[in-house]
Amino acid sequence: MKFNLLAFESSSMFTSVALIKGNSHIYQEFNMCNDNLIYKHAENIIPMASKLLNDANINIKELTLLSFGNGPGSFIGTRIACGITNGISLALDIPILSFSSHEIMLEEIHIEKESIIFIASEAGNDEIYFSIYSAYKNYKQNIFFKQLQEIILISIKKINDFIQNFDKNNDFINFNKIIIGNAFSKHKDLSSLFTNAQYINIYIPKAKYLARLSKKVFFQSDKLPINSNLPIYIRNKIAFTIKERNDLKLNQI
């Protein structure tokens, strides 16, 4: 069976689409990292996918697997990737895999020793999406990731207490520490909370690594994991009312 995978990632401000043609390690990616194209997911995601398929000389009916980044992140962007992927899946009757933005960023990391990885993504309103993973080696010396803290929405003001409590309840003193995510570059004070941690410039999730992760799961699993194929919604509220904004201003006086 031919293996052709198309992956969509638009949970950040940028849009990316990746294609794996055949059972090889050849990846093609069309990544719109341009300041003039920020949050232009709806305009660009279909043309980007069409270009990849045309360049690879693949008919859309030859696709065998789809995947998308299910967030958390851009509310509209995540829904666009989800909707397109589910639409193609329904039309072609092919399976879907979906992964969180933090799982996709983990796939980009090159790690040679056991580590604790802190991931912080910008969420707006002085809040971040935050998760913690450990990277460990199995008996074959392959690196695997284990989630220690599921993705949460947390105020930057509260993250210090959260980290101190985490360190108190876990014995990871001798572990290598790594921090990734765009929140660390935007909020300089955030990095200072993670003493002796190595910053790796993995800014946002990218479709190339989503595709690589999807292929890995597809071929390593006896059966595909049961995914909801829906976006991850952690924030229940994405905007303040006029009254709430006025109340916030009064509290800041």
**Model confidence pLDDT, tens digit, residues 17-76:** 999 998 776 777 766 666 666 778 888 899 999 999 998 899 999 999 999 999 999 989
Distance CA 136, CA 214 (A): 20
DSSP reduced 3-state for 235: coil
**Where do the structural domains in the chain lie, given as residue ranges?**
4-101+205-220, 110-199
The reply to whether domains 4-101+205-220 and 110-199 share a CATH topology is yes
pLDDT at position 2 is 87
Residue 61 is given by DSSP the state: G
Percent pLDDT > 70 in the chain is: 85
Does 27 or 106 have the greater pLDDT score?
106
pTM for this model (two decimals): 0.88
What band does 246 get if pLDDT is binned at 50, 70 and 90? low
* Mean pLDDT calculated for residue range 188-211: 91
Kindly state the helix (H) or strand (E) to which residue 105 belongs, with its residue range: helix 101-108
Kindly state the helix (H) or strand (E) to which residue 199 belongs, with its residue range: strand 198-199
CA distances from 249 to 25, 67, 119, 126 (A): 53, 42, 31, 15
Q: Which residue has the tokens 């093609």?
A: 28
* Mean pLDDT calculated for residue range 241-246: 67
Q: Which CATH superfamily is domain 110-199 in?
A: ATPase, nucleotide binding domain (3.30.420.40)
Q: Which CATH superfamily is domain 4-101+205-220 in?
A: ATPase, nucleotide binding domain (3.30.420.40)
Average pLDDT for the chain: 87
pLDDT at position 250 is 59
* Mean pLDDT calculated for residue range 126-155: 89
pLDDT at position 226 is 61
